[in-house]
Amino acid sequence: MLTLHRINQPFAANRLREEMDRVFGNFFAPTDGGFASVRGAFPSLNVWEDDQAFVAEAEIPGLKMDDLEIFVVGDELTIKGERKPCDCKDVTYHRRERGTGAFSRVLRLPAEVDAEKVEATLKDGVLTVRLAKAQAVLPRKIEVKVGK
């Protein structure tokens, strides 16, 4: 029987979550160095917004824009791509942690974006996608009329 002691509740809950992640992560992870064997989702994302747009940054070292596909539908951003394995011949790997193969990451944004005004740039292994908010969700100044 599993017994949890209430010594430090947040610590116990975090420890349990980490153990479950470790057990199930190792159980389902492929052993061929694919992206699923890398802890967490790939690519790692930072997402923020200002008044006019959402911005998503994705770490994708070693990839070029030709390796990527970016889709926007409504309030969803999809980043798809593929990192090809090294075509090294006659080598012995001692460690293989960089994932290879196809990946896809779908992110639901808090509001719809204008798909015609999405811009993507790739610099120093970081993909930056700027997604202009749809006109319908932008703040609108309301003119107040004075009654007579």
Model pTM score? 0.66
Query: Domain check: are 77 and 112 in the same one?
Result: yes
Query: Domain check: are 27 and 48 in the same one?
Result: no
pLDDT given for residue 16 in this prediction: 73
Long-range residue pairs from 7-10, CB within 8 A, at least 24 positions apart, any chain:
none
| Stretch 27-56: mean pLDDT | 71
CB 79 within 8 A of CB 118: no
141 lies in some domain: no
Q: How confident is the model at residue 25 (pLDDT cuts 50, 70, 90)?
A: low
Residue 125: DSSP 8-state: T
Is residue 2 pLDDT above 50, yes or no?
A: no
CB 53 within 8 A of CB 128: no
Query: Domain check: are 128 and 82 in the same one?
Result: yes
Can you tell me the distance from the alpha carbon of 138 to that of 51, in angstroms, rounded to the nearest whole number? 7
In tens, the pLDDT along 72-130 reads 988 899 999 998 888 888 988 888 888 888 999 999 999 999 999 999 999 999 999 99
Query: Domain check: are 82 and 26 in the same one?
Result: no
Range of the domain at 23: 8-32
